Amino acid sequence: MKKPWDPGFKRNKSTSTVGEAMGDMLKAYKIERKFSQTAVLKGWDDLVGPVIAKRTTKVYFNKNVLVVQIDSAPLRSELNYNKTKLLQALQNKFGREIVANLLIS
């Protein structure tokens, strides 16, 4: 990526919104996926509700797999039973390419 002070740098003459500029910046620094994954992590509590969020001890990504640690065995079992519905809700809200699978432990 050329810097503004480089001799071969040419400014883009078209205007763009802040959202477009942010998207271009995320693409340029190749951090789009990480940015989207952070949105999933922050949105976990809203998606599952306060009862499940209270029992969630850790939520993180391992590549494209969302790993959720639950401290209650019965709740963990219930979430594993409904894993496909939960995964589908995550994929509908955040995108299929962001959350490929869900691991509940």
- Sorted by where each begins, the domain ranges of the chain are 32-104
The stretches of the chain forming alpha helices (DSSP H) are: 18-28, 32-48, 50-55, 73-81, 83-94
Q: What is the pLDDT of residue 7?
A: 66
Mean pLDDT of 44-50: 93
Of the CA atoms within 13 Å of residue 23, those in its CB half-sphere come to: 5
pLDDT above 90 covers a percentage of the chain that reads 52
> What SS3 state is found at 69?
strand
d(CA 99, CA 88): 9
**Does the model's pTM come out above 0.85?**
no
Among 68-77, 80-89, 94-103, the least confident range: 94-103
d(CA 74, CA 44): 19
Q: What is the pLDDT of residue 3?
A: 65
Q: Which token pair is 97? A: 């390419």
Q: Which token pair is 75? A: 């709740």
Q: Which CATH number fits domain 32-104: 1.10.3470, 3.10.450, 1.10.1660, 3.30.300?
A: 3.30.300
Q: What is the mean pLDDT of the chain?
A: 87
